[in-house]
Chain A
Amino acid sequence: MSIDVTRQVSLNIAALESEFNAITNNLANVSTAGYKRFVSSFAETLARQQSLLGDNDISSANLQVGIDFSQGLSMIETGRSLDVALQGKGFFVIETAEGPLYTRNGMFRANQNGQITDSLGRIVSGQAGPVTIPADIALSQVNIAADGSVKAGDTTLGQLRVVSFGDNENKLIPAGDNCFRAPNDLAVLAEENAAIRQGYLESSNVKMIDELVDMIMVSRLYQANMKFITARKDAGESLMSLAMG
């Protein structure tokens, strides 16, 4: 019995550590355009379990671990013609040698051949191949409409591809560089309801205050659980010294 409790406490500690790491990652990425925060309600669930929130109804606590794909907190106006923000669900598609990646960071640029790329120079996928801006058209003349169609005056240059994953968004795997990878069996759907806004960037959805509150709760719970181990060790020691005389 008591071994079980100690085991659970050490599991708690490990889980709190990774939740703390996730919070620090959210905080580090508070200014990263298109970043989606990592949520874990482990600490909250644990606090309920250990009656720290004055409510020990565990069934009401729903353990959630994953990425919160909600819209970023604000649209930041930049005025750059190749900065685009997505309003609503969906992702831009980045072409890489290892297959497509999905991102909501729309700080794009044109490469030396006029193709629209992300900031690492990887091609941004269009409905029909990469969108290319011809050399005789200036970047400031490029208009990107809400449906992603890229135009210069009356000439259509292409259309940015926007996809979504329906209710399976939570199966996406973060791949770094603001991108997500989709498992092979995940259905990629064309997204038609997302509105693209040119000249804006989507901010991250990290709320500094919420993360700070979570961080305090996690560190307090961590300390409480550590204290428990200390207490057990002390109790064990006095029992031993009693037995040994």
Chain B
Amino acid sequence: MLRAFSTSATGMAAQQNMVDVIANNLANINTNGFKRSQIDFQDLLYLKLRESGTEVVAGLTAPSGLEIGSGVRVASTVKVFTTGELQNTSRPLDIAIAGEGFLQVSMPDGSTKYTRDGALQINGEGNLVTTTGFQLEPAISIPTDAMSIDIGKDGSVNVMDGSGNISVVGTLQLARFPNPAGLSSEGDNLLAETAASGTVITGTPGENGFGSIQAGFLEKSNVQMVTELVNLITAQRAYEINSRAIRAGDDMLRTANEIVR
């Protein structure tokens, strides 16, 4: 009987994790380039209680063995890398990646991180940076006399100076991973390479499976509010029903206790 308690407790813990994941998805519904997470549950090990063919009740034999599971656990959470909705902002430095790929960001400690948040800015030194102020890699510096900036589908950054001359000052490079689900989330919309993600592959936007750059657009999150809310209700009900099982088990134990009262 005590087994049922711990089994139901794993069920409650799992649903609680589910609610945590849903809450984070919903909280980031307006975060540019955010990818929703999905949770992978797995059943726990089974205990063999009875071989098949044994007598269950006088005169009744079990046609198959009895193996009782011990509940559920969260095997992992997976980020779902489908493209979010592209929103037109008309700001020349807003870029969205239509398809696969991440922008590369160099961190102050020298490491490289990855993001799909393309709300770019120009910092005091004239370099292209993310909203948080981290420099893009390869670094692209915008001349001080630039009148307008235009980023092409292939990632080339074109600048027009005061006298109307257009020049290419750099090209954005995208990064890709064999297993993007293995990237670790670092906050600030940044992702980092891990052993599970595989080695980074870099390339030019629009080539070799990389998405192309859409300037004047931002990629919204890929969180669907209705889906998340439906999942939330399901998780809440499942949590409730697992707690009800604990109560039913408690009632049963109480009857057992009454024998020796």
Answer yes or no: do A and B interact: yes
CA distance A188 to B87 in the complex (A): 51
Contact partners of A138 in chain B: CB under 8 A: 99-101, 176, 209-210
- A residues within 8 A CB of B201? 135-136
- Assuming A24-B245, A78-B80, is B63 touching A65 (CB within 8 A)? yes
Once the chains are docked, how many angstroms separate the CA of A33 from the CA of B75? 11
Contacts of B196 in A (CB 8 A): 111-112, 121
Known: A79-B82, A139-B100, A176-B46. A230 touches B259 (CB 8 A): yes
A238, chain B: closest CB distance, angstroms: 16
A7 to B67, CA, bound (A): 23
Given A17-B1, A223-B255, A27 contacting B245 (CB threshold 8 A): yes
Chain A nearest Cβ from B12, distance in angstroms: 8
Q: Is B168 an interface residue (CB 8 A)?
A: no
Please state if B251 and A219 are interface contacts (CB–CB under 8 Å): yes
Q: Are A110 and B63 in contact (CB under 8 A)?
A: no
Point out which of A7, A18, A40 has the most chain B C-beta atoms below 10 A from its C-beta: A18
Q: Is A45 part of the binding interface, using a Cβ–Cβ cutoff of 8 Å?
A: yes
Structural contact, A25 and B70, CB atoms closer than 8 A: yes
Does B60 touch A at the CB level, under 8 Å?
Answer: yes
A113 touches B198 (CB 8 A): yes
Q: Which of B184-241 contact A (CB under 8 A)?
A: 195-199, 201, 208-210, 222, 234-235, 237-238, 241
A136 to B64, CA, bound (A): 49
Known: A112-B199, A140-B81. A63 touches B237 (CB 8 A): no
Asked if A66 and B197 make an inter-chain contact with CB atoms under 8 angstroms apart, the answer reads no
- Given A29-B11, A109-B182, A139-B180, A215 and B248 touching (CB < 8 A)? yes
Expressed in whole angstroms, the Cα–Cα distance for A114 and B182 within the complex equals 12
Are A66 and B68 neighbours in the complex by a CB distance under 8 Å? Answer: no
In the complex, how many angstroms separate the beta carbon of B183 from the nearest chain A beta carbon? Answer: 11
A171 to B209, CA, bound (A): 45
The reply to whether A226 and B258 contact each other, CB–CB distance below 8 Å, is: yes
Check B198 against A111 for contact (C-beta < 8 Å). yes
Which residues of chain B come closer than 8 Å to A167, judged between CB atoms? none
B242 within 8 A of A: yes
- Say yes or no: is B43 at the interface (Cβ < 8 Å to chain A): yes
On whether the beta carbons of B68 and A22 are closer than 8 Å, the reply is yes
* A11 and B237 alpha carbons, distance in the complex (Å): 33
| B 48-59 to A, binary, CB cutoff 8 A, 1 in contact else 0 | 011000011110
CB distance from A206 to the nearest CB of B (A): 9
For B41, B72, B242, B258, the residue with the greatest tally of chain A CB atoms inside 10 Å of its CB is B41
**Cβ of B78 and Cβ of A80 under 8 Å apart?**
yes
**Cβ contact within 8 Å between B75 and A120:** yes
- Central interface residue in B7, B210, B222, by most chain A CB within 10 Å: B7
- Size category of the binding interface on chain B: 35 or more
A127 at the interface (CB under 8 A from B): no
Contact in complex: B178, A111 (CB < 8 Å): yes
Which residues of A sit under 8 angstroms from B169, Cβ to Cβ?
Answer: none
Are A136 and B208 in contact, with the CB atoms below 8 A? yes
Are A25 and B71 in contact (CB-based, < 8 A)?
A: yes
**Are A25 and B43 closer than 8 Å at their CB atoms?**
yes
The residue in chain B whose Cβ has the minimal distance to the Cβ of A38 is: B69
Is the Cβ of A176 less than 8 Å from the Cβ of B45? yes
In the bound complex, CA of A20 to CA of B76 (Å): 28
Residue of A with least CB distance to B259: A230
- A12 in contact with B57 given A25-B70, A105-B42, A230-B258 (CB within 8 Å): yes
Identify which of B45, B178, B238 gathers the most chain A CB atoms within 10 Å of its CB. Answer: B178
Q: Does B4 contact A (CB under 8 A)?
A: yes
Q: In the assembly, what is the distance between CA of A122 and CA of B93, in Å?
A: 43
What sequence of 0s and 1s flags, for each residue 10-46 of chain A, a beta carbon within 8 Å of any chain B beta carbon? 0110010110111111011111110100101010011
CA–CA, A12 and B56, complex, Å: 8
In the complex, A98 has a CB within 8 A of chain B: no
A119 touches B100 (CB 8 A): no
A-B contact pairs, 18 of them (CB 8 A): A4-B58, A22-B68, A28-B43, A28-B69, A63-B62, A79-B80, A80-B38, A105-B40, A135-B201, A140-B83, A174-B43, A174-B69, A176-B42, A208-B241, A212-B244, A219-B248, A226-B255, A227-B255
Task: Name the 6 nearest CB pairs between A and B, nearest first.
Answer: A28-B11, A112-B198, A138-B209, A25-B69, A138-B100, A32-B41
Excluding A170-B64, A223-B252, 19 further A-B contacts by CB distance (< 8 Å) are A18-B49, A20-B248, A24-B71, A24-B242, A25-B7, A27-B8, A27-B238, A28-B69, A32-B43, A32-B72, A64-B63, A110-B181, A114-B178, A114-B198, A119-B40, A138-B101, A140-B100, A177-B42, A222-B252
